[in-house]
Structure 1
Amino acid sequence: MRSVEQMIEELKAAKGLEPADLVLLHAKLVMLHTEEIIEGCLYIKNGRIVSLQERHCLPAAEQFDCQGRYVLPGLIDAHVHIEPTLLTPEALAAVIVPLGTTTMLVDGMEMGNVAGTAGVEALMQNALREGLNYNLWLQVPSRVPSAPGLETTGGELGLDEVKGLLEQAYSVSVGELDPSKVLSLRKDYLEKVLMAQRMGKISNGHAAGLKWDELNVYACAGLQDDHECLEYEELLQRLRLGLRVMIREGSAERNLEALLGGVLKDRLPLDELMFCTDDKHVNDIYHEGHINYMVNKAIALGVPPIKAIKMATLNTAKHFRMDHLIGSVAPGRWADLIVTEDLARIDPVHVFFHGRHVAENGRMLASIAQPDYPQELRRTIRLSTHFSGGQFKVASAAASDSVKVRVIHLYPNQIVNFGSVETLQAVDGEIKADANRDILKLAVVERYGRTGDVGVGFVKGFGLKSGALACSVAHDHHNIVVVGSNDEDMELAVRTIERHQGGFAAVDGGVVQGVLALPIGGLMSDLGAEEVIEQLEHLNEVVKMMGCRLRSPFMALSFISLPTVPELGMTDKGLVDVKSHSIIPVLI
């Protein structure tokens, strides 16, 4: 928090009465409020910008020569879950900060579902520590659990817990609230929106699949944005009703090209649009980029560079009522800055965070804080003593016959899915997967030691020819989700996750082919970024050899269990019809 003594020091530096800490010389300053570029210099005191001048005319303790390069504000991820990157916030810094991301607005629902308030606070403790090298602010989880009665979670956040987190200085909003809570007029969830309003904070949306009439109700409740648009018409409807849109480009959800294509064609204004990754594995960030990747892709599609930069900075800062702190190159804002050769493609040469030079030419210069997570977050996988592969059996009343079953179908590069009815054969009273038709068995195993429940169904779209995949990152309940061609490999995959206390596993022919351990909450690795990337890419190659054709197989697997995104989801309780918010039978 800024003290009045610090403010006075900064004002004195702005007046030239005492030296600034640093001056950036020979810069092309990107002025987002007026959408122009001016040549000059920039003075920093106590980590804040204090003055912009056409020439070097104020005293400064240190100088940094930008050599005629462009200086723009650090980029902002408008909505992200850190845990699906598979890294701790500390390890993530080495990947995103050199790419120019200096602010992450994080919905902590993943850790909340695993360990409640204690899990969220453990994640956010880094926001209060020196050495993280980017701003970490919290979108307070609004739905832990996401689907009460339809899933088992390790933690719960009620009204009191949400209120306590909202009151923290590191909180900026109530996190994404799915439509079922609003359309069913659930008072306990609507009260969370009102609490945020009373504190001067916003409420984030999650309006997947909503049509016009439902969207009117949703907007009326006070939700203020949505990151679930897949098609341009959805984006247009949300903007018409006053909902800002976060355009998402994650590992399993690729929406930018379709959405911006329509925006550019219809020449819509861009001021209500932002960028977010939502869920993106670290290897995709490493190879593609982060928010800078989205800015560059938008520019390549025809968005003017300054407007694309605004979508990644000032638009987001204004939406979250934080533009007095971040989002522009202007006095009083944090000196979170990118120095780049060209505006047509944002490849940061230098990155400053709170006035410190923290990255250069794609590598960190500053030291990174070391993670420190409590031991209880490292022992969260507790399978029932009664768990066995026999629980994956899908019984048929007929000893041998054709049986109709409901199957979850994956859409490529999206987290939404659709349901279909398929015919499978029952052999000796058991319905088997049919890998030749890409119809695999899907199961979710309760992992908190509470019920021992196992939900079982079928899925199409993974393409596995044999074996099984399992992971403990399973939105939003984070039980163990497993897909496979046979029960034996599926059981071994789940046991492998238990042995490592979380992670991804690939099994084929009774042999573990590859593992990425995620022991922190069953969600994050305690290794550095390079080691995680290497292990994940090896695992993805193994899965490809098993016949899977998905670009991000474990990201797809983690979303197939989501009971709040249309049409179907799978939890430890069974197959979920998202629209009716109910468990439905697999067999017809």
Structure 2
Amino acid sequence: MNVDLLLTEAKVFNVYLKEWMVADVAIHQGRILFVGKSSGLELSAHKILSCQKYLLVPGFIDIHMHIESSFLSPRRFAEAVLPHGTTTVVSEPHEMANVFGIEGVREMIKAGEGAAIDIYYGVPSSVPSTNSDVEGTGGVIDLHELKTLMEEEPKIVCLGEVMNYIDLVQMKEGRARNFTNFMRKNYPFRAIEGHVPQIEGFDLAKVLFAGVDSDHCLQTPSGIKARAEAGMFIEIQEKSITPENMAILNNQNMDGRFALVTDDVSPDTLLKKGHIDHLIRKAVKAGLRFESAILAATRSPAERIGFRDRGAIAPGRIADFVMLNQQSSTDISINQVIKGGNLEISEKETSLQEKKFFSLPFYTSINKLSCKENLFSIKAPSEKKIQYCRIIVKNKINTFTKEDHQPIPVQKGRLAWQKRDLNLVTVCNRYGSQVCAQGLIGGTIIREGAFCSSYAHDHHNILLVGDNPNDMEFLFSWLQKGSGGIAFASKGAIVAELSLPVAGLLSEAPPHEVAKRSEAIREALLRHGFEHPNPIMSLCTVTLPVSPSLKITDKGLVDTSKGEIVSLFVN
């Protein structure tokens, strides 16, 4: 028999036996035909590649991520991650759905056709992430949209993360429970992805009872153990890769019960550090067994999401491989990536330079807003010279916040917040309602400048944060002139900017260009005092009302533990 490609004498990782074996791998019509010793077999090949110097592992699979977080269009994202060994992703496009609803999901699927990797999708289950009383969005995904997408889109493989876990904990009837009930009844073998931050015990049990049986949020050793005991699948993103967490994964022999996922990756991090390959390196360095890390990027995510055709180097599977340089059995140094039996490491994307993949409305998604005086100042509720205010306290590590109460002086009927070590934050609805809200940020803050973004989790209204009204007003005008983007300004001038013309979320420019501009914004924030490993995402999640503990939307400050709007002012 004559096959398309024969890889000879590779050191192949068998994900079922968790063993390395020297073998030949025959590939035919994009799939694996045979793994073993080919000598003596009636086997010839159009092309033979000697792999004696390489380790051969399955292509990496990321089952919990959001393409929009890279600011790249789907095909541009694929172009960026394939050289890092990622051959399959499951993207949950709730960013685009918050702007355009079901048409946003469909447009993302359409825009990903012909990509260099396989892109599958989860139905966004939390659009909006809470409800219309807490945040304003441009689109809504309800039970009708869920049914439609599950029935009509073959690229849909799961229910995306159920972010409104508070309703599940409180056993409330509503959209979250309607979605999980629908999936359990009609699609019992499809995964229901979860967003379950920092809860254990009875509350965790109630989330599992609803059908949500995975969690990708920040993990701790006790949280991992509690989730493992309850049968919950654990998804480890970068911020959860610690020596303590890796030790419990090793000690409890949890292979097959967890996967490495990226969730949100900025374009500059993606190009400089990598994708799933970066998480493997970091996990191994933190103490996770090398073979366990490979399993967590291949077989484990494949089995979690129900992929029966990938995640292993075995007959019948798709011929997705990562060839690692055999410098060290505990290192990830990628020599070549094979996708579907194709030796090309990535498709030629030069033709995408000028091509647009989205329909016209996606390039005109931001309604013009009037710049009112109260956008960048806060009126005091009384004539008192001191007002006690709720403060959103940001930390230097993750995207969680804390609530603090601080006395703020009043001058001429307005809060003199600049006399304190604080930033002003303003969120404006961009979908036509002209609703705006203001708050105050403490902890790690911007100094001598301001930041703006039309990408603001998850409603993606207009976000402005700064230490002075002048730069904030300047950035507000900058946003009004374009179709969306992210920028940093200081002393009335743009320091760094990234245009995001597709829904105010994505760029269709080449990955290296987007990465360069994103990195410039990151560096500007760091130079101006905002200390954080991912400063852009830290600021863009100050608007996320389902992540602890005090956030802000266009409707006002949100106590995320209660899912309610609370006043800026306290007695």
Does the alignment reach a TM-score above 0.5?
yes
Q: Is the 8 A contact 1:336 1:353 kept in 2?
A: yes
**Structure 1 213/158 Cα, relative in aligned 2: closer, same or farther at 3 Å?**
same
Given the alignment, which residue of 274, 294, 305 partners 2:290?
A: 305
Report the residue type matching 1:39 in the other structure.
V
Residues of 2 paired with 1:259 and 1:91: CA distance? Answer: 36
Residues of 2 paired with 1:92 and 1:526: CA distance? Answer: 10
Report the residue type matching 2:540 in the other structure.
S
Q: Is the 8 A contact 2:91 2:120 kept in 1?
A: yes
Higher deviation after alignment, 178-187 or 335-344: 178-187
* Structure 2 residue 87 is the aligned partner of structure 1 residue 102: yes
Residues of 2 paired with 1:36 and 1:230: CA distance? Answer: 29
What SS does the aligned partner of 2:475 have? helix
* Structure 2 residue 483 is the aligned partner of structure 1 residue 489: no
**Structure 1 262/317 Cα, relative in aligned 2: closer, same or farther at 3 Å?**
same
* Structure 2 residue 183 is the aligned partner of structure 1 residue 196: yes
CA deviation vs aligned residue, 1:461-497 (integer Å, no higher than 9, x gap) = 3432222111111111000111111223212212212
Q: Is the 8 A contact 2:79 2:347 kept in 1?
A: no
Residues of 1 paired with 2:512 and 2:90: CA distance? Answer: 24
CA deviation vs aligned residue, 1:80-127 (integer Å, no higher than 9, x gap) = 011111111211223211110111111110000011111111111144
1:77 equivalent in structure 2: 62
1:574-585 paired onto structure 2 within 5 Å = 574-585=556-567
Residues of 1 paired with 2:82 and 2:335: CA distance? Answer: 11
Q: 1:136 deviation in Å?
A: 0.5
Q: 1:22 deviation in Å?
A: 1.4
Residues of 1 paired with 2:550 and 2:255: CA distance? Answer: 33
* Structure 2 residue 150 is the aligned partner of structure 1 residue 163: no
2:341 equivalent in structure 1: 355
Q: Is the 8 A contact 1:471 1:554 kept in 2?
A: no
Q: Is the 8 A contact 1:576 1:584 kept in 2?
A: yes
2:119 equivalent in structure 1: 136
**Structure 1 126/37 Cα, relative in aligned 2: closer, same or farther at 3 Å?**
farther
**Structure 1 462/153 Cα, relative in aligned 2: closer, same or farther at 3 Å?**
same
Q: Is the 8 A contact 1:399 1:430 kept in 2?
A: no
**Structure 1 306/258 Cα, relative in aligned 2: closer, same or farther at 3 Å?**
closer
Higher deviation after alignment, 95-104 or 506-515: 506-515
2:449 equivalent in structure 1: 467
Q: 1:538 deviation in Å?
A: 2.1
Residues of 1 paired with 2:89 and 2:389: CA distance? Answer: 42
CA deviation vs aligned residue, 1:257-276 (integer Å, no higher than 9, x gap) = 15534415744423211111
Higher deviation after alignment, 272-281 or 228-237: 228-237
Unaligned runs of 5+ in 2: none
1:33-52 paired onto structure 2 within 5 Å = 33-52=16-35
Q: 1:328 deviation in Å?
A: 0.6
Higher deviation after alignment, 573-582 or 270-279: 270-279
Report the residue type matching 1:390 in the other structure.
N
**Structure 1 366/259 Cα, relative in aligned 2: closer, same or farther at 3 Å?**
farther
1:234-313 paired onto structure 2 within 5 Å = 234-249=223-238, 254-257=239-242, 260-263=245-248, 266-313=251-298
**Structure 1 486/202 Cα, relative in aligned 2: closer, same or farther at 3 Å?**
same
2:318 equivalent in structure 1: 334
Q: 1:436 deviation in Å?
A: 5.7
1:532 equivalent in structure 2: 514
CA deviation vs aligned residue, 1:117-174 (integer Å, no higher than 9, x gap) = 11111111144x33x1111010110011111121110111111111121232111110
TM-score w.r.t. the length of structure 1 is 0.91
1:565 equivalent in structure 2: 547
CA RMSD of aligned residues (A): 1.8
Residues of 2 paired with 1:310 and 1:331: CA distance? Answer: 18
CA deviation vs aligned residue, 1:342-371 (integer Å, no higher than 9, x gap) = 331112101011111121xxxx46557735
What SS does the aligned partner of 1:543 have? helix
Q: 1:534 deviation in Å?
A: 1.4
2:222 equivalent in structure 1: 233
**Structure 1 259/521 Cα, relative in aligned 2: closer, same or farther at 3 Å?**
farther
* Structure 2 residue 431 is the aligned partner of structure 1 residue 448: yes
* Structure 2 residue 375 is the aligned partner of structure 1 residue 388: no
CA deviation vs aligned residue, 1:313-364 (integer Å, no higher than 9, x gap) = 1111111111x211110111111110111331112101011111121xxxx4
Q: 1:522 deviation in Å?
A: 0.5
Residues of 1 paired with 2:349 and 2:106: CA distance? Answer: 23
Q: 1:181 deviation in Å?
A: 3.2
Q: 1:59 deviation in Å?
A: 2.5
Report the residue type matching 2:183 in the other structure.
A
**Structure 1 212/262 Cα, relative in aligned 2: closer, same or farther at 3 Å?**
farther
Moved runs in structure 1, 4+ residues, more than 6 A?
Answer: none
**Structure 1 435/230 Cα, relative in aligned 2: closer, same or farther at 3 Å?**
farther
Residues of 2 paired with 1:33 and 1:220: CA distance? Answer: 30
Q: Is the 8 A contact 2:396 2:531 kept in 1?
A: no
Report the residue type matching 2:291 in the other structure.
I
Q: Is the 8 A contact 2:62 2:90 kept in 1?
A: yes
1:4 equivalent in structure 2: none
Q: Is the 8 A contact 1:435 1:464 kept in 2?
A: no
Higher deviation after alignment, 502-511 or 520-529: 502-511
**Structure 1 390/398 Cα, relative in aligned 2: closer, same or farther at 3 Å?**
same
**Count of residue pairs the alignment pairs up:** 557
CA deviation vs aligned residue, 1:362-398 (integer Å, no higher than 9, x gap) = xx465577351111111111133x3324233211144
Higher deviation after alignment, 310-319 or 175-184: 175-184
Higher deviation after alignment, 202-211 or 296-305: 296-305
**Structure 1 264/150 Cα, relative in aligned 2: closer, same or farther at 3 Å?**
closer
What SS does the aligned partner of 1:357 have? coil
What SS does the aligned partner of 1:358 have? coil
CA deviation vs aligned residue, 1:296-325 (integer Å, no higher than 9, x gap) = 122222322211100111111111111x21
Q: Is the 8 A contact 1:238 1:244 kept in 2?
A: yes
Q: 1:187 deviation in Å?
A: 4.0
Q: Is the 8 A contact 2:358 2:502 kept in 1?
A: yes
Higher deviation after alignment, 517-526 or 533-542: 533-542
Q: Is the 8 A contact 1:27 1:68 kept in 2?
A: yes
TM-score w.r.t. the length of structure 2 is 0.94
1:113-192 paired onto structure 2 within 5 Å = 113-127=98-112, 129-130=113-114, 132-148=115-131, 149-167=133-151, 168-178=153-163, 179-184=165-170, 185-192=172-179
Q: Is the 8 A contact 2:169 2:204 kept in 1?
A: no
Unaligned runs of 5+ in 1: 1-15
Q: Is the 8 A contact 2:224 2:245 kept in 1?
A: no
**Structure 1 582/515 Cα, relative in aligned 2: closer, same or farther at 3 Å?**
same
Residues of 2 paired with 1:368 and 1:41: CA distance? Answer: 35
What SS does the aligned partner of 2:20 have? strand
Higher deviation after alignment, 31-40 or 506-515: 506-515
Residues of 1 paired with 2:350 and 2:208: CA distance? Answer: 41
Q: 1:547 deviation in Å?
A: 2.9
CA deviation vs aligned residue, 1:3-59 (integer Å, no higher than 9, x gap) = xxxxxxxxxxxxx3xx22211122111101001111121111221111112134312
Report the residue type matching 2:262 in the other structure.
T
CA deviation vs aligned residue, 1:526-550 (integer Å, no higher than 9, x gap) = 2111111111222223333333323
